[in-house]
């Protein structure tokens, strides 16, 4: 007898193949049967008439590393059907660390992810962190090796070139991470420490992954120009002999979009094994510290406050702010009670209220908030991201950032349903079968998730039941904390984590989500 039969639905299996009228039988944590199961017996039957049954979705770029330790059922994601999170994006996370850098990273990440200093309980390696993630929440997770953590631990935060000894230690650290099951190396070349990494350095570190076919996953040097950044990533992949994946790749003008996708089609995918992700929105979101000149980072996160008092730094910052539109950025979140009333305000309004020059107002705000200020940017039309979504090297990464009582980017709640609904029905960018593949089969294959991402007998029972007519995102910039519509049921390793559109709070213990290991 089966545990569960999901019957009368249409299966979209995640491979891109056309839908089929078939039932799915679940036994324990696996898909036990796919076919006509009308004669089979089961403890429970779920009627999926008029619904699609698909594999669980994979979010290949997110900032959920800490939330998975703190929240049993991370509803902004599970209610979209996301059953696996690929952690430790942008080269910045909570591991690997040593006693000293653990404090740095929890401090630095305060406006990006969940953890507080008092929650550090002594982990060092990525593997030790992932042991804590295993069975801690509703979702599965797999990790990158974040390069910022590796570099700061073994070569410091400064802008001097890495020496041979430091390089040897970094190569050992990356090798250990790959042995432990990481997907590959993530980099964030606009962020702390890594902004000083040279191309040659990145080639040498990435080469350590070649025996494992680890992925080089990069937030490229967007500040220096997207096309140049993608070209550098392709060069790194080619010289290191590893596949390349670009994080949140998009451009904001039609000529830039054309140039970028032409480069992808004529060069990138010929020179390396190439893919990319982006969330289906044009506007972005990141920490306010992102706008600071790179020089503030040379003494590490705890040295930044002192740098922000230096007149030179403020002068450089003023120059950078002169070219950005303050009215197009709003304060999405900050931790201080005193300043909480400013959440949701655009920076021009905030600056006017404080009555100081912009660079002084924002440097002082960063000092008051221990650097922890999250921004959302408003610029451009979502139409401009569509050519990327429609590209066949594209898979979904939400880049979602969560805080309660915040004005975060709606991509956190809406990325998957937006691909399944509006992008298929209204914009006709691709078929529903392709949308499901971009959310399940393709990322599972790319990020080495064994026996997941396709509805197939013997595979793990990560499953979503949704309504193709009504599925859509509901989160907006004004009102971001809105669950998707049309996602009815979500299973992770056979256990229900969303039932009738509602996140399940009484999850079995240990919880269903597992820490996964990469298999190329
Ligand atoms: Zn990024």
What is the predicted pLDDT for the residue at 144? 98
Q: What angle do CA 173, 174, 179 make, to 5 degrees?
A: 100
Enclosing H/E stretch for 414: helix 411-420
Expressed in angstroms and rounded, the spacing between residue 475 Cα and the centre of ligand 1 is 21
Phi, psi dihedral angles at 140 (to 5 degrees)? -75, 160
Phi, psi dihedral angles at 487 (to 5 degrees)? -100, 110
Expressed in angstroms and rounded, the spacing between residue 149 Cα and the centre of ligand 1 is 15
Name the CA radius of gyration of the chain, rounded. 22
What is the predicted pLDDT for the residue at 184? 98
Expressed in angstroms and rounded, the spacing between residue 314 Cα and the centre of ligand 1 is 25
Expressed in angstroms and rounded, the spacing between residue 146 Cα and the centre of ligand 1 is 12
Which tokens belong to 131?
């042991």
Enclosing H/E stretch for 31: strand 30-35
Expressed in angstroms and rounded, the spacing between residue 61 Cα and the centre of ligand 1 is 8
What is the predicted pLDDT for the residue at 463? 99
Expressed in angstroms and rounded, the spacing between residue 501 Cα and the centre of ligand 1 is 30
Say yes or no to pLDDT of 164 above 80.
yes
* For range 43-70, the mean pLDDT: 98
Q: pLDDT tens, 116-144?
A: 999 999 999 999 999 999 999 999 999 99
* Closest to 491 in 3D by CA, of 456, 460, 450: 460
Q: pLDDT tens, 352-375?
A: 999 999 999 999 999 999 999 999
Enclosing H/E stretch for 226: helix 226-240
Expressed in angstroms and rounded, the spacing between residue 38 Cα and the centre of ligand 1 is 47
Task: List the alpha helices (DSSP H) in 323-357.
Answer: 347-354
Expressed in angstroms and rounded, the spacing between residue 374 Cα and the centre of ligand 1 is 13
Expressed in angstroms and rounded, the spacing between residue 10 Cα and the centre of ligand 1 is 36
What is the predicted pLDDT for the residue at 520? 84
For the chain, give the percent of residues with pLDDT over 90.
99
Expressed in angstroms and rounded, the spacing between residue 375 Cα and the centre of ligand 1 is 13
Are 49 and 107 in contact by the 8 Å Cβ rule? The answer is: no
What is the predicted pLDDT for the residue at 269? 98
Collapse the DSSP code of 6 into the 3-class scheme (helix H, G, I; strand E, B; otherwise coil) and give the result.
strand
Is this prediction's pTM over 0.95? yes
Expressed in angstroms and rounded, the spacing between residue 195 Cα and the centre of ligand 1 is 13
Expressed in angstroms and rounded, the spacing between residue 121 Cα and the centre of ligand 1 is 27
What is the predicted pLDDT for the residue at 122? 98
Expressed in angstroms and rounded, the spacing between residue 42 Cα and the centre of ligand 1 is 45
Expressed in angstroms and rounded, the spacing between residue 332 Cα and the centre of ligand 1 is 17
Bridge partners (DSSP) of residue 188 are: 219
How many CB atoms lie under 10 A from the CB of residue 146? 31
Name the pLDDT band for 186 (thresholds 50, 70, 90): very high
Q: pLDDT tens, 290-300?
A: 999 999 999 99
Which tokens belong to 38?
């009308």
* For range 139-157, the mean pLDDT: 98
Name the pLDDT band for 380 (thresholds 50, 70, 90): confident
What is the predicted pLDDT for the residue at 427? 98
Expressed in angstroms and rounded, the spacing between residue 173 Cα and the centre of ligand 1 is 22
What is the predicted pLDDT for the residue at 286? 96
Are 437 and 392 in contact by the 8 Å Cβ rule? The answer is: no
What is the predicted pLDDT for the residue at 362? 98
Expressed in angstroms and rounded, the spacing between residue 247 Cα and the centre of ligand 1 is 6
Look at the block and give the residue holding tokens 């004005």.
407
In 490-518, which positions are buried (b, 16+ CB within 10 angstroms) versus exposed (e)?
bbbbbbbbbeebebbeebeeebbbbbbbb
Exposed (0-12), middle (13-18) or buried (19+): which is 198, by Cβ within 10 Å? exposed
Expressed in angstroms and rounded, the spacing between residue 119 Cα and the centre of ligand 1 is 24
Expressed in angstroms and rounded, the spacing between residue 89 Cα and the centre of ligand 1 is 7
Name the pLDDT band for 7 (thresholds 50, 70, 90): very high
Look at the block and give the residue holding tokens 């997110």.
62
* Closest to 375 in 3D by CA, of 404, 352, 409: 409
Which tokens belong to 407?
């004005």
Q: pLDDT tens, 406-418?
A: 999 999 999 999 9
* Closest to 257 in 3D by CA, of 377, 382, 434: 382
Q: pLDDT tens, 447-460?
A: 999 999 999 999 99
What is the predicted pLDDT for the residue at 72? 98
Query: Strands 329-333, 374-377: parallel, antiparallel or unpaired by DSSP?
Result: antiparallel
Phi, psi dihedral angles at 11 (to 5 degrees)? -90, 125
Collapse the DSSP code of 371 into the 3-class scheme (helix H, G, I; strand E, B; otherwise coil) and give the result.
coil
Expressed in angstroms and rounded, the spacing between residue 406 Cα and the centre of ligand 1 is 20
Expressed in angstroms and rounded, the spacing between residue 229 Cα and the centre of ligand 1 is 13
Measured distance CA(208)–CA(146) in Å, rounded: 14
* Closest to 432 in 3D by CA, of 418, 416, 443, 421: 421
What is the predicted pLDDT for the residue at 140? 98
Measured distance CA(235)–CA(427) in Å, rounded: 34
* For range 286-312, the mean pLDDT: 97
What is the predicted pLDDT for the residue at 379? 77
Expressed in angstroms and rounded, the spacing between residue 237 Cα and the centre of ligand 1 is 18
Q: pLDDT tens, 461-506?
A: 999 999 999 999 999 999 999 999 999 999 999 999 999 999 999 9
How many CB atoms lie under 10 A from the CB of residue 98? 13
Phi, psi dihedral angles at 325 (to 5 degrees)? -95, 110
Say yes or no to pLDDT of 236 above 80.
yes
């Amino acid at each position: 007898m089966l545990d569960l039969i999901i019957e009368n639905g249409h299966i979209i299996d995640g491979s891109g193949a056309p839908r089929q009228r078939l039932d799915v039988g679940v036994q324990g944590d696996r898909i036990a049967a796919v076919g006509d199961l009308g004669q089979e017996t089961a403890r429970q039957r779920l009627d999926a008439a008029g619904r699609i049954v698909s594999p669980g979705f994979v979010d290949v770029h997110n900032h959920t590393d800490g939330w998975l330790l703190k929240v049993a059922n991370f509803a902004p994601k599970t209610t979209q059907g996301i059953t696996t999170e690929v952690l430790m994006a942008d080269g910045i996370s909570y591991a690997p660390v040593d006693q000293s850098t653990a404090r740095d990273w929890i401090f630095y990440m305060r406006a990006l992810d969940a953890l507080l200093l008092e929650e550090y309980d002594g982990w060092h390696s990525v593997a030790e962190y992932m042991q804590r993630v295993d069975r801690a929440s509703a979702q599965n997770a797999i990790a990158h090796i974040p390069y910022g953590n590796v570099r700061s631990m073994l070569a410091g935060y400064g802008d001097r070139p890495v020496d041979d000894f430091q390089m040897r230690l970094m190569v050992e650290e990356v090798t250990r991470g790959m042995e432990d099951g990481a997907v590959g190396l993530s980099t964030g070349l606009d962020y702390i420490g890594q902004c000083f990494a040279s191309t040659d350095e990145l080639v040498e570190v990435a080469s350590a992954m070649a025996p494992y076919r680890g992925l080089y996953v990069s937030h490229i040097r967007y500040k220096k120009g997207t096309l140049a950044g993608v070209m550098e990533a392709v060069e790194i992949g080619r010289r290191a002999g590893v596949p390349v994946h670009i994080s949140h790749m998009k451009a904001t003008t039609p000529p830039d979009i054309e140039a970028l996708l032409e480069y992808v089609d004529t060069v990138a995918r010929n020179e390396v094994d190439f893919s990319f992700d982006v969330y289906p929105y044009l506007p972005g979101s990141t920490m306010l510290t992102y706008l600071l000149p790179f020089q503030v980072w040379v003494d590490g996160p705890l040295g930044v406050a002192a740098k922000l008092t230096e007149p030179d730094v403020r002068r450089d910052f003023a120059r950078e702010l002169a070219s950005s539109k303050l009215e197009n950025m709003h304060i999405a979140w900050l931790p201080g009670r005193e300043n909480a009333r400013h959440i949701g305000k655009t920076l021009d309004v905030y600056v006017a209220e404080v009555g100081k020059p912009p660079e002084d107002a924002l440097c002082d705000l960063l000092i008051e908030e221990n650097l922890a200020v999250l921004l959302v940017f408003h610029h451009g039309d979502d139409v401009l991201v569509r050519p990327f979504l429609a590209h066949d090297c594209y898979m979904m990464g939400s880049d979602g950032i969560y805080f309660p009582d915040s004005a975060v980017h709606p991509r956190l709640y809406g990325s998957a349903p937006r691909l399944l609904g509006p992008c298929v029905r209204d914009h006709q960018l691709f078929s529903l079968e392709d949308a499901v593949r971009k959310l399940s089969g393709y990322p599972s294959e790319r990020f080495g998730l064994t026996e997941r991402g396709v509805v197939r007998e013997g595979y793990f029972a990560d499953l979503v039941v949704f309504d193709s007519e009504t599925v859509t995102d509901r989160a907006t910039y004004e009102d971001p904390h809105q669950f998707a519509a049309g996602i009815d049921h979500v299973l992770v390793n056979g256990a229900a984590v969303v039932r009738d559109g509602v996140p399940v709070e009484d999850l079995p213990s240990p919880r269903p989500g597992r820490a996964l290991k990469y298999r190329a």
